[in-house]
Amino acid sequence: MTKATELLEKEKNEKDPARIPEVEVNNLTKTFGKRKVLDKISFELEKGGFLSLFGPNGAGKTTLIKIITTLIAPTSGEIRVSGMNPMKNSAAIRAKVGLISHSPLLYLDLNAEENLRFYGAMYSVHNLDERIDELLDQVELGHRRYDLVRTYSKGMTQRLAIARALLHKPSILFLDEPHSGLDPHAVDIFENLLDSIRAEHTFIMITHNIERGLALCSKAMILYNGQIVFYQDKEELDIDMFKSIYQQRVKGDS
């Protein structure tokens, strides 16, 4: 906990007025009746940062993501995404975020192109045809563009899901347990793809995979019962402390 507060202090002190953090969460609380789903969550994520979010089921990870992506209103606290308030600029924020989930968010009875066309219309993407060509090349699915997603392997579906998430050129990407259900080969391809888009995006990832989560991140956080119980920069990450807290909170609970 002390490390976490130190980091918060540091973030405050280093704050450069010209630099707006990509995601800024201050004293965020979400309650329902007596139950606190999220309790005074504060953190900051700079542009290009990568936050790995750990925690047992029901810790509030999904709620936190839903609040940042404007799907749920917080009870109190302040949030800024690219300097915007989710309650007031929900459409603008949604246009800037993308989601890669453990489910592909694709229609199985449509082919790759039809799926992308559909989401393109939802996001009002400009020059949609070119964008689709470009993305299908990038995820190496150009040759399967007219095949139904139903016929794809798990890895191919995941690649198309990434193309779908990048379609509207989001600046922030949310990853919701993206490794689950992927075989090692598919994980390799997934991470190569992630590497190639790493520079121009900010990431927040929910994961149960400690190894991958810590390898990818620039900041690591453990949520438990709606509270931050661990929050450190990767460079100064105390791996033993992380593991002991993780063991105690996450494993002990499940």
Partner 1 sequence: MEKATKLLFAIAAVLLLTGLALAFLVAPQIVIQKDGKDVSIFSQKIFYFHAPIAETSLVAFVIGAIFGALFLARKERKYDFLSFASVELGFVFGALVMWTGDIWTRSEWGTWWEWEPRLTTYLILMLLYSGYFVLRSAVSEESSKARLSAAYSVIAAVTVPFTFFAIRLIPSVHPIVFDSSGAKMEHSMLAAFLVSMFGMTVLYVAFLLLRYQTLLAGEEVDYLKNKLGG
Partner 2 sequence: MIRKVSGAKQIAAIIKKDIIAELRTKEMVVSMFLFVLLVMVAFKYAFGDSESFSDYAGGLLWIAFLFTALLGLNRSFVHEKDEGCLEGLLLAPVDRPNIFFGKMAGNFMFISIVEIITVPIYMILFKLSIEGSIALFISAIVLSNIGISTVGTLLSTVSINTKMRDMLLPLIFLPVILPVLAAAVVSTGGIMAGVAGEKLANVFSAMKLLIAYDILFLLVAYALYDFVIGE
Binding site residues, partner 2, CB under 8 A: 66, 69, 71-73, 90-92, 94-95, 97, 99, 101, 103-110, 114, 117-119, 121-124, 148, 164
Q: For the CB of residue 59, give the shortest distance to partner 1 in the complex, in Å.
A: 12
In angstroms, give the least distance from the CB of 134 to partner 2. Answer: 20
Distance CA 125, CA 139 (A): 19
From the CB of 109, what's the least distance to partner 2, in Å? 4
CB of 119 to partner 2, least distance (A): 7
Q: Which residues bind partner 1 (CB under 8 A)?
A: 32-35, 73, 225
Look at residue 242 and give the partner it binds from partner 1, partner 2, none, a contact being a CB closer than 5 to 8 Å depending on partner kind. Answer: none
**Which two three-digit tokens encode residue 64?**
């936190």
Q: Beta 23-32 vs 35-45: how paired, if at all?
A: antiparallel
Identity of the residue, 66 or 208, whose beta carbon is nearer to partner 1 in the bound complex: 66
Tell the smallest beta-carbon distance from residue 75 to partner 2 (Å). 13
Contact status, residue 232 vs residue 52, Cβ threshold 8 Å: no
- Cβ partners under 8 Å of residue 219, min gap 6: 43, 45, 49, 50, 51, 52, 231, 232, 233, 234
Which of 62, 209 has the CB closer to partner 2? 62
Give the Cα separation of 85 and 68 in Å (integer).
9
Which option in partner 1, partner 2, none does residue 32 bind, with CB closer than 5 to 8 A by kind?
A: partner 1
35 binds, among partner 2, partner 1, none (CB under 5 to 8 A by kind): partner 1
Give the residue with the Cβ less far from partner 2, 6 or 147. 147
Q: Which does 225 bind (CB under 5 to 8 A by kind): partner 1, partner 2, none?
A: partner 1
Q: Which does residue 34 bind out of partner 1, partner 2, none, counting CB within 5 to 8 angstroms by kind?
A: partner 1
18 half-sphere exposure, CB direction, 13 A CA radius:
0
Among partner 1, partner 2, none, the one that 5 touches (CB under a kind-dependent 5 to 8 A) is none
User: Which amino acid is residue 193, in one-letter code?
Assistant: L
CA distances to 53, 96, 172 from 59, in Å: 11, 26, 22
Q: How far apart are CA 161 and CA 62, in angstroms?
A: 19
Residue 233, SS3?
Answer: strand
| Minimum CB distance to partner 2, residue 111 (Å) | 9
Rounded CA-CA distance 197/63 in Å is: 26
